[in-house]
């Protein structure tokens, strides 16, 4: 799972016993050599799925990590793309890894995603692989912050996978991981919130709607469909209403 350039077992153990912020500061220099980085295929598919909605002037990557989502937004945004994360280490790695193309400004902002410091500044926002760090009770603040950050008519988009079939290898792997994290957080401080089974699509849609978004989904056909015909992956597309375009 890890390349020779990735973190050692000891480094991963130290990270897992740290806070989320400090853990990612430690992991940042080697993060792109771990399986935790969003695979390029997901980024490409998301970019292409969003292309018909654009182009956009300004884009935001929420919990940007080392900048993979910022790179996905660059082909869609004509003026600027901003990555926000609360790990200074991840932001430093992102600034080093992501080239700034001519004509589009790239900004890096350190902030907590539950209290985003933006107001109607962006036309599109994305997030990849970060929602497991937020407990269900924290989603309303997260979504409300993204809502405030978007201009009227702006989009908030992110991929969501279908639940794993009961009894499958991945089902038990995720269940086991979440169980181990809950035990860890009961026994050790500071806590490290990272769960795979706390972001169900139905509850997420309800929270987005409560924040004010008009919520839809698009099947990401590139990842195929399950035996029941439902897609393995969907792109959630939540739009901030634009009163000037009503009716």
Q: For residue 201, what pLDDT is reported?
A: 94
Are 11 and 113 within one domain?
Answer: no
The pLDDT tens digits along the chain (247 residues) read 455 666 677 777 767 767 777 777 777 777 767 777 788 898 999 999 999 998 999 999 999 999 999 999 999 999 999 999 999 999 999 999 998 777 889 999 999 999 999 999 999 999 998 898 899 999 999 999 999 999 999 999 999 999 888 888 888 888 888 888 899 888 888 888 888 888 999 999 999 999 999 999 999 999 999 999 999 999 999 999 998 875 4
Are 76 and 116 within one domain?
Answer: yes
188 inside domain: no
Q: For residue 1, what pLDDT is reported?
A: 46
Are 132 and 224 within one domain?
Answer: yes
175 inside domain: no
Asked whether 240 and 213 are in contact (CB, 8 A), the reply is yes
Q: For residue 196, what pLDDT is reported?
A: 81
The two tokens of residue 67 are 């900048």
Strand order, beta sheet including 122-126: 105-110, 77-85, 56-62, 122-126, 150-161, 233-239, 214-219
219 inside domain: yes
23 inside domain: yes
Residues ≥6 apart with Cβ < 8 Å to 162: 226, 230, 231, 232, 233, 234
Are 129 and 144 within one domain?
Answer: yes
Are 19 and 81 within one domain?
Answer: no
Are 65 and 75 within one domain?
Answer: yes
Are 63 and 134 within one domain?
Answer: yes
209 inside domain: yes
245 inside domain: no
pTM assigned to the model: 0.89
Are 1 and 110 within one domain?
Answer: no
Are 206 and 222 within one domain?
Answer: yes
Number of domains in the chain: 2
Are 46 and 30 within one domain?
Answer: no
Q: Say which CATH number the domain at 103 has.
A: 3.40.50.150
- Domain with 209, as residue range(s), is 38-163+200-240
Are 214 and 232 within one domain?
Answer: yes
Are 17 and 112 within one domain?
Answer: no
Asked whether 231 and 223 are in contact (CB, 8 A), the reply is yes
Q: For residue 193, what pLDDT is reported?
A: 82
Asked whether 51 and 116 are in contact (CB, 8 A), the reply is no
């Amino acid at each position: 799972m890890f390349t020779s350039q990735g973190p050692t077992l000891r480094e991963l153990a130290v990270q897992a016993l740290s806070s989320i912020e400090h853990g990612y500061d430690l992991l940042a220099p080697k993060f792109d050599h771990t399986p935790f980085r969003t695979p390029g295929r997901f980024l490409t598919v998301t970019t292409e799925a969003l292309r018909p909605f654009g182009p956009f002037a300004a884009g935001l990557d929420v919990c940007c990590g080392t900048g993979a989502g910022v790179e996905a937004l660059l082909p869609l945004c004509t003026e600027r793309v901003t990555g926000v994360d609360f790990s200074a280490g991840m932001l430093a790695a992102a600034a080093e890894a992501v080239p700034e193309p001519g004509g589009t400004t790239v900004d890096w902002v350190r902030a907590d995603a539950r209290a985003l410091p933006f107001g109607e500044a962006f036309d599109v926002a994305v997030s990849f692989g970060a929602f497991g760090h937020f407990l269900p009770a924290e989603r309303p603040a997260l979504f409300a912050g993204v809502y405030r950050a978007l201009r009227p008519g702006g989009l908030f988009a992110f991929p969501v996978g279908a639940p794993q079939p009961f009894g499958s290898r991945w089902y038990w792997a995720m269940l086991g991981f979440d169980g181990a994290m809950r035990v860890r957080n009961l026994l050790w401080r500071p806590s490290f919130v990272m769960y795979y089974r706390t972001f169900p699509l139905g509850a997420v849609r309800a929270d987005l709607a409560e924040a004010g978004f008009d919520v839809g989904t698009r099947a990401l056909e590139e990842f195929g469909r399950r035996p029941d015909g439902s897609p393995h992956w969907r792109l959630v597309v939540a739009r901030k209403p634009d009163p000037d375009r009503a009716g």
